[in-house]
Structure 1
């Protein structure tokens, strides 16, 4: 486990260093500009319509950045469907799950196991994992804030998912059309990132153990969320689930290295995001204009890393998520409050710690089992 962690950290910083070049900056300038335009438009449209949960519109637009139109359209449809399905499941399950601690824990474990198994076995994996994550988010949010009006939250999430998706598709389509008119579009091979060696050490797991690890981690977090209904625990629950959503091959084999790598990226990205946000907040001074400028600059930086090699791209995704959730809140346009970022970081740390402990136990158990077989 320590060797895998060391390899993941080394590969991450190696890939980040390799991304810093003028050539890469020029190649990604247009994509990063489209990402900024899409996120700002998502904020404006959501607020113009008077919706709450504005952050979800921006997250949905941000999650599609850098994708080709065809891929973005497919992911956008899954994004909208996953938002709708997940919130519906969460609404139906919330009254039942809140009846007792045992039912709450079993509900979270069952949701996570089913979601992970479906996401890795079926097509449209993004929809399945998003549905599961939002269902868990709704249930845990209802428990942490009993007075929240869940139907209003759900409807706002549906509309904002549509807004974020459609805004990005519109911006990407306009960008492609403008490039064609200017005769700058060259349909060549996509940019290749730095080559990193992945000496995958340790064993590999199939789909069922993969789902079971998620269920065990979510069970432990669910019990803590029941006993200590803090605002950060909904994020902790979704963290343990989303980190496990890593690609499997055609035979359903899943590498623990990729999970450890995503844990590192999530912690490093969110930690760096919080440090940068804390440094930028005094400069915004509560100004809407300065806050909007900060969002544009920081989202551009996040997308620059996000569009890079797989050994560093998820770090950029998490950095951007912290920026968005810090400045774009539920019922206000832009805010300079860092409370949301604190809650997110606390939840992410809790989720990663729980998942790391479960992975460690599984690794030790697998080692002992294979050792006995060898004897």
Structure 2
């Protein structure tokens, strides 16, 4: 009996500690979700946009519409992926838009080549494919966080994972190559549509400024460049040991995020092979996209920013899915009505994305999910099943990534203890 009481008390203390941590985690997630919807509500109330926000939303709306129209003209298989490319590449500056377009196309081509080569060779051997997919995800996410061409690494990872995984369903090298080629074509069509619209608006703005005699931008750019130089001179005064410590801490965060991506993709790929899950591409994209944090977030602990992005992606996708599934039966297969509804959804999402109330990522994910769910393959359709499968893939990707991060946190705490 004397030996039972300490063991029992230790078990009770451990159980209470686990319950406190679970309650704290649920409370934090609830707070993030509440903040996301509150920020979204404030953005929707302040619906009056500035000229820059209206211009960005209009550019994105026209880019997506042009991408969809071109995809139908060329009879592409996945029209929604061309539409997403038309939105994702868009930037308020033409130079940044063009750079993102180049990175997206080059990353997609590299990923398609890798997938079309590896997929037919090992597509029927899950014990080889699953670790390969995890390695591709981990390496690509790490390089995306530390490289100047991070966007190209993300698109390379997404494309190679899609093509490699689809190879075991297509069951032939020629079919896999055709799938990869169509994937590249869809991205190129959407990217060219986006860059063309951005170039047109850029030329129009420059012409307007010239005709009005407005002062050119180089002065402001020079001032901002001078500020960066002054800031750099102050940074040289940092103690070398502190700089090395910060660099080592950032490197550890990069590796941890890469491991999260690798394990999430391994689990998703294993489930997809075992149960033939059709929503795996969206699940895989979610597991990678949520982890690509902006540079400003990598100098601090990343668990809370990643959790916030997961919650905001879920909120944006949930709202987009609900709105899309409500509109599809009402609009049916009327091409004009579908295009108008698509443009309205993209504009609203861009309005939220460019706001300052803290719901920017919600707006971006709403727009991507709205395009993904609302735009069907080949032609306009009111069939909700493809939309539901894509939404299920997004939710499963968030769930698996959350489980992987929770397991990693528990292991780290146990090692520290």
TM bracket, shorter-chain basis: 0.7 to 0.9
The SS at the match of 2:290 is helix
1:258–1:27 CA distance, 2 compared to 1 (3 A) = same
TM-score by length of 2: 0.78
Matched, 1:356 2:382: no
Aligned-pair distance for 1:158?
A: 1.9
1:187–1:290 CA distance, 2 compared to 1 (3 A) = farther
* CA distance in 2: counterparts of 1:340 and 1:320, whole angstroms: 17
The SS at the match of 1:329 is coil
Q: Which residue of 2 aligns with 1:224?
A: 271
What is the aligned counterpart of 2:135 among 103, 110, 124? 110
Aligned-pair distance for 1:26?
A: 5.4
Q: Which residue of 1 aligns with 2:34?
A: 10
Gaps of 5+ in 2: 1-24, 221-248
Q: Aligned runs of 1:12-91 on 2, under 5 Å?
A: 12-19=36-43, 20-24=45-49, 27-91=52-116
Gaps of 5+ in 1: 190-202
Q: Aligned runs of 1:138-157 on 2, under 5 Å?
A: 138-144=163-169, 146=171, 149-157=175-183
For residues 16-60 of structure 1, the C-alpha deviation after alignment (integer angstroms, 9 at most, x for no partner) is: 233231543655222211211111111222322333333222111
Q: Which residue of 1 aligns with 2:386?
A: 340
* Contact kept? 2:63, 2:197, Cα under 8 Å: yes
Aligned-pair distance for 1:282?
A: 2.5
Matched, 1:270 2:317: yes
* CA distance in 2: counterparts of 1:110 and 1:253, whole angstroms: 25
Matched, 1:171 2:217: no
* Contact kept? 1:64, 1:72, Cα under 8 Å: yes
* Contact kept? 2:120, 2:176, Cα under 8 Å: no
What is the aligned counterpart of 1:279 among 305, 318, 326? 326
Q: Which segment is superposed worse, 29-38 or 360-369? A: 360-369
Q: Aligned runs of 1:245-324 on 2, under 5 Å?
A: 245-248=292-295, 255-309=302-356, 311-324=358-371
Aligned-pair distance for 1:124?
A: 0.4
For residues 66-112 of structure 1, the C-alpha deviation after alignment (integer angstroms, 9 at most, x for no partner) is: 43111111111000001111111111121234232211221121111
Aligned length: 358
Q: Rg bigger for which structure?
A: 2
For residues 170-213 of structure 1, the C-alpha deviation after alignment (integer angstroms, 9 at most, x for no partner) is: 21222233334445888889xxxxxxxxxxxxx98511122112
* CA distance in 2: counterparts of 1:220 and 1:146, whole angstroms: 22
Aligned-pair distance for 1:144?
A: 4.8
The SS at the match of 2:75 is coil
* CA distance in 1: counterparts of 2:374 and 2:298, whole angstroms: 42
* Contact kept? 2:133, 2:266, Cα under 8 Å: yes
Q: Which residue of 2 aligns with 1:207?
A: 254
* CA distance in 2: counterparts of 1:140 and 1:187, whole angstroms: 50
* CA distance in 2: counterparts of 1:309 and 1:365, whole angstroms: 37
Aligned-pair distance for 1:3?
A: 4.7
More helix by share: 2
For residues 123-145 of structure 1, the C-alpha deviation after alignment (integer angstroms, 9 at most, x for no partner) is: 20111011111111122233355
* Contact kept? 2:283, 2:397, Cα under 8 Å: yes
* Contact kept? 2:287, 2:401, Cα under 8 Å: yes
Aligned-pair distance for 1:215?
A: 1.4
* Contact kept? 2:124, 2:168, Cα under 8 Å: no
* CA distance in 1: counterparts of 2:216 and 2:39, whole angstroms: 26
* CA distance in 1: counterparts of 2:71 and 2:190, whole angstroms: 9
1:48–1:250 CA distance, 2 compared to 1 (3 A) = closer
* Contact kept? 2:320, 2:366, Cα under 8 Å: yes
